[in-house]
Copies of this chain bind each other. A is one copy, B any other.
Amino acid sequence: MIIILKNNAAREKVDALAAKLRGEGFTLHYSEGKHTTIIGLIGDTYKLDPEDIAAYDIVEGVRKVSEPYKKANRKFHPEDTRVTVGKATFGEGFFQVIAGPCSVESEEQIVEVAEAVKKSGATLLRGGAFKPRTSPYSFQGLEGEGLRLLLAAKRQTGLPIVTEIMDLSTLGMFDDVDVIQVGARNMQNFSLLKELGKTGKPILLKRGMSSTIEEWLMSAEYIMSGGNERVILCERGIRTFETAVRNTLDIVAVPVLKRLSHLPVIIDPSHATGQPWLVEPISKAAVAIGADGLIIEVHNNPEKALCDGAQSLTPAEFDGIMGKIRHYAAFEGREFGIASGASIGAAL
């Protein structure tokens, strides 16, 4: 961390700040310029909040040199992390597709979709039970009943399930859920992240709509610093000035994250754009740029979906796209889905 002092900083105040920082175990290096003096701070600066230093009235500004996260940082953990869910591995060398409807609506619906996506090669089933909706007048999900139906689909297909938690108070209901999803709006719900850090469950951490990559990794750090290192990151589009599609997919975040962190990264082409015809080109680009998987919305009847039908593919459309993703994954040397020889149904 670098501290830029004001021109007229009083010597005794600078000394006091320096003494405080040395007391906290940091080593200090001074550089005096014509107009500015800077102090280089050496030590475990990730524990230091730049705002605390900026509060001193002799300080003009603060510049970070190293990342504020440690557990999620590739510098301290050079090997890729692989997160395994049942027989499916997220991380280097593998490629997984999670699929299913935006929200669970009935047992018939969720089982039908689960069977279809499994047949096409998906290795996990997604489905919303608790739904974050912008309007209080929109369908809010089947909640507990939705979880029950997801578990029924899991029993019938062998597919592990991924579903979103919206509030800490419902955590007890997620015991049999395989992967707990934290949605974009909850990416900085720190109370929730802390509790998830105490579970041993894989967490699918979606990027907040306007979160920087650094903030996203800090949210992963919340979970990991609690003891749970099974975090899968999911890019789902950020908010920009562009209105042609719902969000702007920051696909370059994938290689950037791969360099900064060791965690697996997947992409959500359905929420990124809200347009089903864009799922195929985005999915191919996702494999090409190095993502570890996809999460795709599939509904057996998009026109009758109770939420976000507009962005869902039919099972037949999904099947067509999976053929292409499979080819791309092979081209990139990725094992597609579960290892050959294994079968998901047998996992039960």
Indicate whether A242 sits within 8 Å of B251 (C-beta atoms), given known contacts A65-B4, A285-B285. Answer: no
The reply to whether A241 and B239 form a contact with Cβ atoms under 8 Å apart is yes
In whole angstroms, what is the CA distance A345 to B282 when docked? 37
Q: A123 near B: Cβ within 8 Å?
A: no
* A250 beta carbon closer than 8 Å to chain B: yes
Cross-chain contact B132 with A63 (CB below 8 angstroms): no
Query: Would A212 and B241 count as touching, CB distance under 8 A?
Result: yes
Task: Say yes or no for A84: interface residue by CB 8 A criterion.
Answer: no
Pick from B55, B225, B289: contact of A281, CB under 8 Å: B289
Verify A285–B274 contact, CB threshold 8 A.
Answer: no
Q: A251–B190 contact, CB under 8 A?
A: no
CB within 8 Å of B: which A115-158 residues? 130, 132-138, 140
A21 neighbours in B (Cβ, 8 Å): none
A347 cross-chain contacts in B, Cβ below 8 A? none
- Chain A contributes a number of interface residues (CB within 8 A of B) equal to 108
Residue-wise interface mask of A (48-60) relative to B, using a CB-CB cutoff of 8 A (1 in contact, 0 not): 0101101111000
CA distance A286 to B166 in the complex (A): 35
A218 and B135 form a contact (CB under 8 A): yes
Chain B residues in 8 Å Cβ range of A251: 249, 251-252, 285
Contact of A244 among B135, B191, B256, B272 (CB under 8 A): B256
Cβ–Cβ contact B215 & A191, under 8 A: no
Return A13 CB to nearest CB of chain B, in Å.
9
Sample (21) of A-B pairs whose CB atoms are under 8 Å apart? A2-B65, A33-B43, A34-B42, A38-B65, A52-B309, A55-B302, A55-B309, A63-B65, A68-B135, A135-B221, A137-B225, A167-B167, A169-B191, A185-B190, A213-B244, A239-B241, A240-B250, A244-B260, A252-B282, A255-B278, A287-B288
